[in-house]
């Protein structure tokens, strides 16, 4: 997280006097989801531009409220920041972006292992994204296809046109990294299973020992996401459902993940917390009490925000039991994550259902490994759109908005 870059591009100094006084600095921050909140595909949701302008200074040049964009989307954060800046008319810095895969930066133990990387081709592609995270020994599904040409067998047009040998020099795969939904599901499912069942050497018979398989790191558990179609589209969570069920049908055992990354995982919210606190400090607003998480998916955005709020409450209780000067520590401690659900994406209930028991009986679209209760998907607030959500936050925080802007540089 290069906060010097953030300060330089936002015209900020060392973070000590950007507000007229500490009393005028915001005690809250905003964590935006992107798809279904700000954009549908590449198209801005109508209220999004106005919503972001509420968080900017009088000239609309820089954020006065600590703001991050936390998405389960895939791609280079530089590409995502450029897209948001272009579509929404505000300058979004790459250091404000948390992509679904961003926390994998911290998984150093795997950066020097031969990793099979599966994922999309857009917004930089899987290889560039993996390199940006620190992975050094990257193997793609296409690499495996070329090394072992008789594995990918569904599409006959891709069969070898002449007899070819396996590449016996191809390195043994040591881990599998799933960055997002691929284009050719049947190819990726087959070859990933081949790798898991053969302990990384798919040109031999299955050798996987019972109860153990190669490490699997998976990013983005969303079953569905909101693009430009009137109904949600399959997300990477749907691909994971296929992989998990095929693995269990073949082996009789559950596929075990070394890590599940992306909302609603706790590690993603901790990563986002660190980022938004660094941004707040750079703006001269170091004492954040509350982060408001705005999303459109109850089983991703709201679930994750509410679980993170429980985590913060637990930390606060533990801190209160310590004998040192906790009053000063707790003053600087983020203590709450409040969830706000908007109606512009995945969540689009019938008006009569929202006030009835039916609104509490969501089908569990969440990941297999995450416990589900209706309460954990219940937001603190429901608003029509992101602009209404920002106005609600300002009302709760009694924040005057642009009347309390950063001093001029």
Asked if 148 and 202 touch (Cβ cutoff 8 Å), the reply is yes
Residue ranges in the chain whose pLDDT is less than 70: 1-23, 322-332, 350-362, 402-409
Asked if 145 and 194 touch (Cβ cutoff 8 Å), the reply is no
pTM recorded for the entire structure: 0.87
Q: Which helix (H) or strand (E) holds 234?
A: strand 233-234
Asked if 221 and 300 touch (Cβ cutoff 8 Å), the reply is yes
Q: Which two tokens stand for residue 378?
A: 């219940």
Q: What is the pLDDT of residue 3?
A: 54
Q: In sequence order, what are the beta bridge partners of 70?
A: 98
Asked if 232 and 346 touch (Cβ cutoff 8 Å), the reply is yes
Q: How far apart are CA 343 and CA 240, in angstroms?
A: 26
Q: In sequence order, what are the beta bridge partners of 337?
A: 291
CB atoms < 10 A from the CB of 178, how many? 26
Tally of CA atoms within 13 A in the half-sphere of 67 that contains its CB = 23
Residues contacting residue 35 through CB under 8 Å, at least 6 positions apart: 71, 72, 73, 225, 226, 227, 296, 345
Asked if 312 and 364 touch (Cβ cutoff 8 Å), the reply is no
Q: What is the pLDDT of residue 96?
A: 97
DSSP string, 68-87: EEE-S--S-HHHHHHHHHHH
Q: Which two tokens stand for residue 249?
A: 């049908």
Q: How far apart are CA 136 and CA 385, in angstroms?
A: 42
């Amino acid at each position: 997280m290069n906060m010097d870059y953030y300060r330089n591009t936002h015209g900020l100094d060392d973070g000590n006097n950007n507000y007229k006084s500490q009393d005028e600095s915001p005690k809250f921050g905003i964590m935006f989801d992107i798809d279904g909140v700000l954009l549908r595909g590449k198209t801005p949701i109508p209220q999004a531009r106005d919503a972001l302008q509420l968080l900017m200074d009088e000239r609309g040049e820089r954020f006065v409220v600590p703001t991050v964009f936390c998405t389960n989307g895939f791609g280079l954060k530089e590409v995502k920041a450029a897209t948001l800046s272009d579509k929404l008319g505000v300058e979004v810095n790459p250091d404000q972006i948390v992509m679904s895969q961003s926390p994998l930066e911290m998984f150093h133990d795997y950066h020097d292992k031969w990793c099979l990387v599966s994922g999309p081709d857009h917004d930089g592609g899987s290889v560039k994204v993996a390199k940006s995270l620190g992975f050094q020994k990257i193997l793609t599904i296409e690499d495996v296809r070329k090394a072992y040409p008789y594995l990918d067998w569904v599409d006959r047009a891709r069969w070898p046109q002449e007899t070819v040998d396996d590449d016996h020099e191809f390195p043994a795969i040591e881990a599998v990294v799933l960055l997002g939904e691929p284009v050719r599901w049947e190819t990726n499912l087959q070859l990933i299973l081949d790798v898991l069942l053969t302990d990384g050497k798919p040109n031999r018979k299955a050798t996987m020992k019972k109860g153990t398989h190669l490490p699997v790191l998976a990013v983005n558990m969303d079953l569905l996401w909101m693009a430009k179609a009137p109904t949600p589209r399959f997300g990477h969570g749907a691909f994971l459902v296929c992989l998990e069920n095929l693995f269990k049908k073949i082996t009789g055992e559950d596929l075990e993940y070394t890590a599940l990354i992306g909302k609603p995982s706790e590690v993603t919210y901790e990563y986002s917390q660190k980022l938004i606190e660094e941004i707040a400090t750079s703006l001269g607003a170091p004492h954040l009490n509350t982060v408001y998480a705005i999303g459109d998916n109850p089983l991703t955005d709201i679930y994750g925000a509410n679980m993170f709020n429980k985590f913060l409450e637990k930390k606060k209780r533990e801190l209160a039991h310590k004998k040192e000067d906790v009053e000063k520590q707790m003053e600087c401690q983020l203590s709450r994550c409040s969830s706000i659900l908007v109606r512009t994406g995945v969540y689009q209930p019938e008006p009569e259902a929202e006030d009835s028991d039916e609104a509490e009986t969501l089908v569990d679209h969440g990941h297999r490994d995450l416990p589900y209760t209706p309460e954990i998907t219940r937001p603190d607030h429901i608003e029509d759109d992101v602009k209404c959500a920002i106005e609600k936050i300002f009302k709760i925080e009694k924040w005057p908005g642009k009347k309390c802007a950063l001093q001029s540089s």
